Every structure is written in C-alpha cells, then in structure tokens.
Amino acid sequence: MRPLRSLLVAFAAFMSATASLAQARPPVLPGAHDALVTAGPQAARIGELWNLTVFICTAVFCAVLIGFVFALWRGGRSGGEAPPDLSSIGKHERGPYLSVLWSVGVSIVLLLVLVVASVLTDRALARASLDNAVKIDVTGHQWWWELNYRGDSSSDNFNAVNELHVPVGRPVVLRLKADDVIHSLWVPSLAGKKDLIPGRTATMSFRADHPGRYRGQCAEFCGYQHAFMAFEVIAEPQAQYDAWAATQRQPASDPPDATAQRGRDVFLGSTCIMCHAIEGTVAGGRKGPDLSHVGGRSTIAAGTLPNRPAELARWIANPHDFKPGVNMPATALSSDDMNALVAYLGSLK
C-alpha cells in the first residue's frame, strides 16, 4: 500500500497548495501584475475563461486520480509466496471496457466545452464597444515603450514614454508596432497579450474600470534586457487624465534656477542630444526616450529604477551597471555637471 499512501500524500499537498494560492490573491494594489486581479471587461472575460479551464482541468485531474486509486484498491495482487492471479487476462471484461468508453466520451465533451468557451470569449472581446476611445500608438524598442497619443487633430497629439495614462471607464485602442525585434504587450489586469512585430501593425483594446496602477511587461523574449522592459498603465479620473495630457502637450519647461540652467547647458553640450529629444530645445534625437517630461515619470529605464536624483545620476554615469547591453552609452561627467544635469531632468515635469 506504500505507493497508494504516497499518492494520497501528493494529492493532499497539491490540493492544499491550490487552496493557499487561491487565498493569496491580493487586492488591486499599485503596480499589481496579476491576471487574477481584473480591472476591466476584457480582462474579466479572459479571467472567466481561465476559471472555467481551471475548474474543468481540476475536475478531470481529481477524477483520474480517484479512478487510479480505486483501481489500485480493487486490483488483484499477489500476497507473499502466492503467484499473482492472472486469470482475467484474455477475458472480455465489460466493466473496464465501458469505463474507457465513458472516459473518452467525457474528455471529448469537456474539450469541446473549452473550445466553445474560448471562441465565445474571443468574440466577446472583438465586440466590446470602442466608442469615444483614446487612441495610442505603442512602439516597442529594445528596451522601452514609445507612446504616441493621437487626438482628433494633430495639435492634440503628444508623446509619452513607458507610463500609459488612460482615463477610467473609457475604451483605449492601442496600435502596436515594433522598431527592432518582436515584443509583446501584456497588462494582465486589463487585457491579454499581443505581439508587436516589426513591419506590421496590430491593435488591441481594453478599458480600465477602476483607478489604479497596473503593471505591464514585455512578454516576448526580445534580447538581453527583455525582463527589464516593464511599463505601467495608470488609470485615473477623466479630469486628472486631461490635466496630465495638457502637460504632455506643452514643450519642456524652462530651468527653474541656475543649477538647472547649467544642467540644460550640460545636456545640450553632450552626446545626449544624439538620441534624446527635449521639446523646446535643439535636442531632437529620436533613438531613445523623449525626455521633455521625464521628471514626471515614476521610474526610469522602463521600470528598472525609481526616478530619484541618485538613481538617475548612476544610470547616466553607467547604464550598463543596471541594464547590460542597453543602447545608451555611459556618460562621464564631473560631479557638479552631473548634479546640475540631474536637477534639470528632474525639473522637467
């Protein structure tokens, strides 16, 4: 009976692990990255499909285990010196024949249920209302996200980087592109995954029904720093979103003091301008993220570091310490120049 006991122990461990996982579901927290915490209709539909799949698979798993245990318990076995009872070999047994038939039939039906549920989910996602949607072009780069908000007229357009602000309760339509290699956009609390493929344009849509910060992550291996290609969707009330968007449409603010003024001179006199743009200055590089409002972002390097002066200085001095392989080169500056540069960038809200 030892195999039977091991099986029962393994089964009990599996069930208790499943139960504790179910209890561990956190509430919607800032930066939650959890497909089981849904904050919009698209994610909720996908969540329902997941629940159905887990329920069916768990039921099948339990049924198979019960059948197995039952077979072990009922099956003939040899005891001590006695030879095993092989008398049933070659005999046509109706019981096992019927149970195999039933198992195959039930498996086919359950698989069909999953196929139909998956098709229905797909159709429900495609039919979701997109009236009055916010339209954003998302371009994946190694390893950051470029966001181009498209308004009704070209004067309404503006850019953002890595932090996708959206108004609560309004549909959002993303047009997905890639600049270099294939990436994949995934914000589990809001929608499923979608690939960004160079030379192609894909679309995806979602709606955030609850204010909050939802963590997203590139979900397709795209090179050395794929894991550090995170982003955030920040869902906020319409008025707050409008205020944020109005700020983004403005060119960069002027340096507020002499230190920041020196920082701007350092920036404009360095190789930074080859890759970065700051609207309202001569810096117009497009290879790296637009820095016109970098001070308003909560992280730098696509969710890699908090956007604080000390981290920003270390990042500029040697980005490869944090993201080996990143396209940005190290920049050697005197500590005064670095402090001034960091003060200037921090002032660009």
Dihedral over Cα of 256, 262, 265, 266: its sign: negative
Nearest to 300 by CA among 325, 323, 334: 323
Conformational region of residue 80, where left means phi above 0, alpha means psi within -120 to 50, and beta covers everything else: left
Comparison of 138 and 218: residue with beta carbon closer to ligand CUA: 218
Nearer to ligand CUA, 171 or 192 (CB): 192
Please list the helix, strand and coil fractions of the chain in percent, rounded to the nearest 5, in that order.
Answer: 45, 20, 40
Does the footprint of ligand CUA cover residue 183 (CB under 6 A)?
yes
Selected binder of ligand CUA within 125, 136, 172, 229 (CB under 6 A): 229
The CB-of-223 to ligand CUA minimum distance in angstroms stands at 7
Q: Which residues contact 41 (CB under 8 A, 6 or more apart)?
A: 128, 207, 209
Between CA 56 and CA 108 the distance in angstroms is 12
226 contacts ligand CUA (rule: CB under 6 A): yes
Question: Is the bond preceding residue 102 a cis peptide, omega within 30 degrees?
Answer: no
Could you tell me which stretch among 79-87, 115-123, 215-223, 281-289 binds ligand CUA (CB under 6 A)?
A: 215-223
Q: Tell me the residue type at 91.
A: K
Q: Which is nearer to ligand CUA, 193 or 226 (CB)?
A: 226
Does 33 bind ligand CUA (CB under 6 A)? Our answer is: no
- Least distance CB 162 / ligand CUA (angstroms): 12
Instruction: In angstroms, give the least distance from the CB of 337 to ligand CUA.
Output: 32
**In this chain, which of 146, 163, 220, 232 binds ligand CUA, going by CB under 6 A?**
220
Taking Cα atoms as reference points, which of 194, 206, 142, 201 lies closest to residue 170? 206
Cα 341 from chain centroid (whole Å)? 32
Does position 216 interact with ligand CUA (CB under 6 A)? The reply is no
- Which residue of 166, 176, 204, 218 would you call a contact of ligand CUA, by CB under 6 A? 218
CB neighbour list of residue 77: distance below 8 Å, 6 or more residues apart:
84
Q: Residues in contact with ligand CUA, total (CB under 6 A)?
A: 9
Nearer to ligand CUA, 165 or 183 (CB): 183
Give contact residues for ligand CUA (rule: CB under 6 A): 140, 143, 183, 218, 220-222, 226, 229
